[in-house]
Structures are given as structure tokens and as C-alpha cells.
Amino acid sequence: MIERTAALNIVYASIREVFAQTGLDAPAALTEETVLVGKDAVLDSLGVVSLIVEVEQRVEGEHGASVTLANDKAMSQRNSPFRTVGVLTDHLVAMVAEVSAA
């Protein structure tokens, strides 16, 4: 199980890391409304893939939970679970809960 605040911090840290790896400047203010996918996104498609990998690695390293965020269930949803920081955070909490319950 992972608290939402901890999940949000992982997402924020992962976004900053992805920007650091690309050499680009991260947005000055990251919020839960920061768009990750689609119109006005702060990341390109490769950046989103890097973000997903970074989040998964941080969750495993910090919480010992092995999650796969981009699974069939996530990819078949009508609304992307990666569209904003807040939505990704909620998706992460749900995936960790699912893995913990198994």
C-alpha cells in the first residue's frame, strides 16, 4: 500500500528526473493539473515512456512493490491514466493497491 502523498511525490520526482535526463528545463510549477499526455503536454511520447519507467523503478526501490503502469487495462481505458500528474498519481495508488492485494 502506498499513501497518495507518497505517490504524488514519486511522480513529481520522476518528472524532474526525466527532464534532467533530457537536459530540458522542467516546468517551473508542477501541479496535479500538469498535462502529461495530449494537447499542452509537458512531455513528448518518449518522455512519457521514460516517466512511466522512472515511476515504476522508484516505487519498487522505495516501497518494494513491482507495478506495471502501462498494462492492458490501462491502455484500454477510455481516458488515459497518464493524462495529468493527478490522474497518474491516482492510477499509481490503484496499481500498488492491486499488487498489494494479490
Domain ranges of the chain: 4-101
pLDDT in tens, 11-63: 999 999 999 998 888 888 999 999 998 899 999 989 999 999 999 999 999 99
31 and 85 Cβ atoms separated by less than 8 Å: yes
Does residue 79 surpass a pLDDT of 80?
yes
Asked if the 4-101 domain carries CATH number 1.10.1200.10, the reply is yes
| Side-chain-facing half-sphere of 41: CA atoms under 13 Å | 16
Is 0.75 topped by the overall pTM?
A: yes
Rounded mean pLDDT, 71-83: 84
Nearest to 26 by CA among 51, 7, 60, 5: 51
Nearest to 68 by CA among 101, 32, 99, 36: 99
